[in-house]
Amino acid sequence: MRDRVVVKWGGGLITEKSTMTTVRADILDRLAEQLETCLAHDLDVVLVHGAGSFGHLKAKQYRLAEGRINHQTFEGEMSQDEAVEEVRQDMLTLNSYVMEALTKRDISAVTLPPHQWASNTGPDFTGDLTVFRDAPSGIVLVTYGDVVKCDGEAEFGILSGDDLVVRLAVELPRVKRLVFAMGGVDGVLAAPPVPGEAQELLHTLRKDRAFEGSHATEMDVTGGIGLKVDRGFQVVERGIEVMLVSGEHEQRVADACLGRTVLGTSLLA
Protein backbone atom coordinates (compact mmCIF):
# COMPACT_ATOMS: atom_id res chain seq x y z
CA MET A 1 0.00 0.00 0.00
CA ARG A 2 1.37 3.43 -0.95
CA ASP A 3 1.85 6.16 1.65
CA ARG A 4 -0.06 9.39 1.31
CA VAL A 5 0.90 13.03 1.61
CA VAL A 6 -1.46 15.97 2.02
CA VAL A 7 -0.19 19.11 0.24
CA LYS A 8 -1.54 22.64 0.49
CA TRP A 9 -0.67 24.99 -2.37
CA GLY A 10 -1.08 28.42 -0.76
CA GLY A 11 -3.32 30.98 -2.45
CA GLY A 12 -0.52 33.55 -2.18
CA LEU A 13 1.68 31.12 -4.12
CA ILE A 14 -0.60 30.16 -7.01
CA THR A 15 -2.24 33.58 -7.56
CA GLU A 16 -1.15 37.22 -7.74
CA LYS A 17 -2.60 38.08 -4.38
CA SER A 18 -3.26 41.77 -4.93
CA THR A 19 -4.67 41.54 -8.48
CA MET A 20 -8.22 40.21 -8.68
CA THR A 21 -8.54 36.67 -10.13
CA THR A 22 -5.01 36.41 -11.54
CA VAL A 23 -3.32 33.02 -11.61
CA ARG A 24 0.45 32.33 -11.63
CA ALA A 25 0.45 29.78 -14.44
CA ASP A 26 4.23 29.23 -14.40
CA ILE A 27 4.16 28.35 -10.70
CA LEU A 28 1.19 26.03 -11.17
CA ASP A 29 3.07 24.24 -13.90
CA ARG A 30 6.18 23.75 -11.74
CA LEU A 31 4.09 22.56 -8.79
CA ALA A 32 2.29 20.05 -11.00
CA GLU A 33 5.67 18.75 -12.18
CA GLN A 34 6.72 18.19 -8.56
CA LEU A 35 3.44 16.45 -7.80
CA GLU A 36 4.15 14.13 -10.72
CA THR A 37 7.54 13.34 -9.13
CA CYS A 38 5.76 12.29 -5.92
CA LEU A 39 3.42 9.95 -7.79
CA ALA A 40 6.38 8.47 -9.67
CA HIS A 41 7.96 7.73 -6.28
CA ASP A 42 4.94 5.72 -5.14
CA LEU A 43 3.44 8.43 -3.00
CA ASP A 44 -0.28 9.22 -3.22
CA VAL A 45 -1.21 12.87 -3.01
CA VAL A 46 -4.25 14.69 -1.65
CA LEU A 47 -4.08 18.27 -2.92
CA VAL A 48 -5.71 21.26 -1.23
CA HIS A 49 -5.30 24.75 -2.63
CA GLY A 50 -5.96 28.19 -1.24
CA ALA A 51 -7.94 31.08 -2.70
CA GLY A 52 -5.57 34.05 -3.05
CA SER A 53 -7.05 36.76 -5.24
CA PHE A 54 -9.90 34.46 -6.38
CA GLY A 55 -11.44 34.42 -2.93
CA HIS A 56 -10.12 36.75 -0.30
CA LEU A 57 -10.72 40.15 -1.89
CA LYS A 58 -14.43 39.71 -2.59
CA ALA A 59 -15.01 37.66 0.56
CA LYS A 60 -13.54 40.52 2.56
CA GLN A 61 -15.55 43.22 0.79
CA TYR A 62 -18.82 41.39 1.48
CA ARG A 63 -17.76 40.13 4.94
CA LEU A 64 -18.54 36.53 4.03
CA ALA A 65 -16.39 35.09 6.84
CA GLU A 66 -18.78 36.71 9.33
CA GLY A 67 -21.81 34.96 7.87
CA ARG A 68 -25.16 36.62 7.21
CA ILE A 69 -25.17 40.29 8.14
CA ASN A 70 -28.60 41.90 8.16
CA HIS A 71 -29.38 45.52 7.40
CA GLN A 72 -25.99 46.27 5.92
CA THR A 73 -25.42 48.00 2.61
CA PHE A 74 -22.18 46.94 1.03
CA GLU A 75 -20.03 49.11 -1.14
CA GLY A 76 -20.64 47.67 -4.60
CA GLU A 77 -23.74 46.40 -6.29
CA MET A 78 -24.18 42.95 -4.83
CA SER A 79 -26.02 41.36 -1.96
CA GLN A 80 -24.14 38.89 0.23
CA ASP A 81 -25.99 36.03 -1.48
CA GLU A 82 -24.77 37.17 -4.87
CA ALA A 83 -21.24 37.55 -3.48
CA VAL A 84 -21.37 33.96 -2.12
CA GLU A 85 -22.27 32.73 -5.61
CA GLU A 86 -19.57 34.84 -7.28
CA VAL A 87 -16.81 33.71 -4.92
CA ARG A 88 -17.83 30.07 -5.42
CA GLN A 89 -17.73 30.65 -9.16
CA ASP A 90 -14.31 32.34 -8.96
CA MET A 91 -12.99 29.44 -6.89
CA LEU A 92 -14.27 26.97 -9.49
CA THR A 93 -12.34 28.99 -12.08
CA LEU A 94 -9.13 28.88 -10.02
CA ASN A 95 -9.67 25.18 -9.45
CA SER A 96 -10.02 24.65 -13.21
CA TYR A 97 -6.53 26.19 -13.70
CA VAL A 98 -5.16 23.80 -11.08
CA MET A 99 -6.84 20.82 -12.75
CA GLU A 100 -5.57 21.93 -16.15
CA ALA A 101 -1.98 22.06 -14.83
CA LEU A 102 -2.38 18.49 -13.56
CA THR A 103 -4.10 17.01 -16.59
CA LYS A 104 -1.51 18.62 -18.92
CA ARG A 105 0.91 16.18 -17.29
CA ASP A 106 -1.48 13.27 -17.57
CA ILE A 107 -2.05 13.22 -13.83
CA SER A 108 -5.46 11.68 -13.07
CA ALA A 109 -7.22 14.04 -10.71
CA VAL A 110 -10.73 14.43 -9.32
CA THR A 111 -11.96 17.65 -7.80
CA LEU A 112 -14.37 17.88 -4.85
CA PRO A 113 -15.61 21.48 -4.34
CA PRO A 114 -16.30 21.95 -0.59
CA HIS A 115 -19.59 23.82 -1.11
CA GLN A 116 -20.93 20.50 -2.49
CA TRP A 117 -19.83 18.22 0.37
CA ALA A 118 -18.81 20.26 3.45
CA SER A 119 -20.49 22.62 5.88
CA ASN A 120 -19.41 24.75 8.82
CA THR A 121 -15.96 26.19 9.31
CA GLY A 122 -12.79 25.55 11.32
CA PRO A 123 -10.84 22.28 11.65
CA ASP A 124 -13.94 20.48 12.99
CA PHE A 125 -16.05 21.28 9.91
CA THR A 126 -18.75 18.78 8.89
CA GLY A 127 -18.23 16.62 5.81
CA ASP A 128 -17.81 13.00 4.83
CA LEU A 129 -14.25 12.09 3.79
CA THR A 130 -15.15 8.64 2.40
CA VAL A 131 -14.47 9.60 -1.21
CA PHE A 132 -10.98 10.80 -0.25
CA ARG A 133 -10.41 7.66 1.81
CA ASP A 134 -11.51 5.26 -0.93
CA ALA A 135 -9.72 6.91 -3.84
CA PRO A 136 -7.73 4.39 -5.88
CA SER A 137 -3.95 4.70 -5.65
CA GLY A 138 -2.48 7.14 -8.13
CA ILE A 139 -5.61 9.31 -8.38
CA VAL A 140 -5.09 12.79 -6.94
CA LEU A 141 -8.08 14.10 -5.03
CA VAL A 142 -8.27 17.89 -5.08
CA THR A 143 -10.21 20.29 -2.89
CA TYR A 144 -9.82 23.92 -1.79
CA GLY A 145 -10.81 26.80 0.51
CA ASP A 146 -14.43 27.76 -0.28
CA VAL A 147 -17.64 29.43 0.91
CA VAL A 148 -19.71 26.76 2.63
CA LYS A 149 -23.13 26.49 4.28
CA CYS A 150 -23.12 26.99 8.05
CA ASP A 151 -25.61 25.99 10.72
CA GLY A 152 -27.48 28.61 12.70
CA GLU A 153 -27.67 32.32 12.07
CA ALA A 154 -24.40 32.54 10.15
CA GLU A 155 -25.92 30.58 7.19
CA PHE A 156 -22.56 30.60 5.37
CA GLY A 157 -18.87 31.08 6.10
CA ILE A 158 -15.35 30.55 4.79
CA LEU A 159 -13.85 27.10 5.13
CA SER A 160 -10.09 27.59 4.72
CA GLY A 161 -7.84 25.09 3.02
CA ASP A 162 -5.75 25.25 6.20
CA ASP A 163 -8.70 23.70 8.06
CA LEU A 164 -9.40 21.10 5.37
CA VAL A 165 -5.84 19.76 5.59
CA VAL A 166 -6.16 19.01 9.31
CA ARG A 167 -9.00 16.50 8.92
CA LEU A 168 -7.56 15.08 5.70
CA ALA A 169 -4.14 14.48 7.29
CA VAL A 170 -5.49 13.10 10.57
CA GLU A 171 -8.45 11.01 9.35
CA LEU A 172 -7.23 9.46 6.09
CA PRO A 173 -5.20 6.28 6.44
CA ARG A 174 -1.46 6.11 5.65
CA VAL A 175 -0.81 9.87 5.66
CA LYS A 176 2.94 10.28 6.31
CA ARG A 177 3.17 14.03 6.17
CA LEU A 178 1.49 17.37 5.54
CA VAL A 179 3.33 19.95 3.45
CA PHE A 180 2.42 23.63 3.18
CA ALA A 181 3.85 25.18 -0.01
CA MET A 182 3.97 28.94 0.38
CA GLY A 183 4.81 32.05 -1.64
CA GLY A 184 7.34 34.71 -0.67
CA VAL A 185 8.99 32.93 2.28
CA ASP A 186 11.28 29.93 2.82
CA GLY A 187 9.30 28.76 5.83
CA VAL A 188 8.41 30.27 9.20
CA LEU A 189 10.50 33.35 9.95
CA ALA A 190 11.60 34.48 13.42
CA ALA A 191 10.16 37.93 12.70
CA PRO A 192 8.19 39.51 9.85
CA PRO A 193 10.40 40.20 6.84
CA VAL A 194 11.88 43.71 6.56
CA PRO A 195 12.84 44.77 3.00
CA GLY A 196 16.62 44.79 2.56
CA GLU A 197 17.28 42.86 5.78
CA ALA A 198 18.28 39.23 6.14
CA GLN A 199 15.45 36.91 7.17
CA GLU A 200 15.97 34.45 10.01
CA LEU A 201 14.38 31.16 8.99
CA LEU A 202 13.33 28.83 11.80
CA HIS A 203 14.42 25.38 10.60
CA THR A 204 12.42 23.73 13.37
CA LEU A 205 9.60 25.08 15.45
CA ARG A 206 8.08 23.91 18.73
CA LYS A 207 4.64 24.97 19.85
CA ASP A 208 5.87 26.98 22.86
CA ARG A 209 8.16 29.07 20.69
CA ALA A 210 5.53 29.84 18.02
CA PHE A 211 3.08 31.29 20.46
CA GLU A 212 5.37 33.18 22.83
CA GLY A 213 4.19 36.70 23.65
CA SER A 214 3.57 38.86 20.63
CA HIS A 215 5.39 36.41 18.40
CA ALA A 216 2.33 34.74 16.91
CA THR A 217 0.70 38.05 16.06
CA GLU A 218 3.82 39.18 14.26
CA MET A 219 3.86 36.01 12.20
CA ASP A 220 0.23 36.52 11.27
CA VAL A 221 1.20 39.83 9.74
CA THR A 222 3.60 37.93 7.44
CA GLY A 223 0.61 36.49 5.59
CA GLY A 224 -1.60 34.04 7.43
CA ILE A 225 1.30 31.87 8.53
CA GLY A 226 -0.06 31.89 12.09
CA LEU A 227 -3.08 29.80 11.00
CA LYS A 228 -0.90 27.29 9.13
CA VAL A 229 1.40 26.87 12.14
CA ASP A 230 -1.56 26.48 14.48
CA ARG A 231 -3.27 23.90 12.27
CA GLY A 232 0.09 22.23 11.59
CA PHE A 233 0.59 21.60 15.31
CA GLN A 234 -2.81 19.91 15.52
CA VAL A 235 -1.52 17.47 12.91
CA VAL A 236 1.98 16.99 14.39
CA GLU A 237 0.37 16.07 17.70
CA ARG A 238 -1.20 13.08 15.93
CA GLY A 239 2.20 11.75 14.86
CA ILE A 240 2.20 13.09 11.29
CA GLU A 241 5.17 15.11 10.03
CA VAL A 242 4.49 18.72 9.05
CA MET A 243 6.75 20.87 6.89
CA LEU A 244 6.36 24.46 5.62
CA VAL A 245 8.41 25.26 2.52
CA SER A 246 8.67 27.74 -0.31
CA GLY A 247 6.75 26.67 -3.40
CA GLU A 248 8.80 29.01 -5.57
CA HIS A 249 12.04 27.03 -5.57
CA GLU A 250 12.86 24.07 -7.73
CA GLN A 251 12.06 20.73 -6.10
CA ARG A 252 11.49 21.87 -2.51
CA VAL A 253 7.84 20.82 -2.41
CA ALA A 254 8.61 17.42 -3.93
CA ASP A 255 11.58 16.94 -1.56
CA ALA A 256 9.45 17.85 1.45
CA CYS A 257 6.69 15.46 0.32
CA LEU A 258 9.19 12.64 -0.14
CA GLY A 259 10.71 13.23 3.31
CA ARG A 260 14.08 14.41 1.98
CA THR A 261 16.15 17.07 3.74
CA VAL A 262 15.02 20.44 2.42
CA LEU A 263 15.18 24.12 3.35
CA GLY A 264 12.05 25.05 5.27
CA THR A 265 10.46 24.75 8.70
CA SER A 266 9.69 21.44 10.31
CA LEU A 267 7.15 21.48 13.14
CA LEU A 268 8.10 19.48 16.23
CA ALA A 269 5.63 17.99 18.67
Distance in Å, CB of 62 to ligand IP8, minimum: 11
In the complex, which residue's CB is closest to ligand IP8? Answer: 145
Of 34 and 160, CB closest to ligand IP8:
160
Interface ranges with ligand IP8 (CB under 6 A): 11, 50-51, 55-56, 59, 87, 91, 145-147, 158, 160-162
Distance in Å, CB of 97 to ligand IP8, minimum: 15
Distance in Å, CB of 65 to ligand IP8, minimum: 8
Distance in Å, CB of 103 to ligand IP8, minimum: 22
Distance in Å, CB of 232 to ligand IP8, minimum: 14
Distance in Å, CB of 18 to ligand IP8, minimum: 14
Q: Which amino acid is at 81?
A: D
Of 74 and 263, CB closest to ligand IP8:
74
Distance in Å, CB of 91 to ligand IP8, minimum: 6
Q: Which of 28, 46, 11, 87 minimizes the C-alpha distance to 235?
A: 46
Of 162 and 241, CB closest to ligand IP8:
162
Of 39 and 52, CB closest to ligand IP8:
52
Of 56 and 177, CB closest to ligand IP8:
56
d(CA 122, CA 135): 24
Count of Cβ atoms closer than 10 Å to residue 25 Cβ = 12
Of 39 and 140, CB closest to ligand IP8:
140
Of 39 and 132, CB closest to ligand IP8:
132
Q: Which of 61, 54, 104 minimizes the C-alpha distance to 80?
A: 61
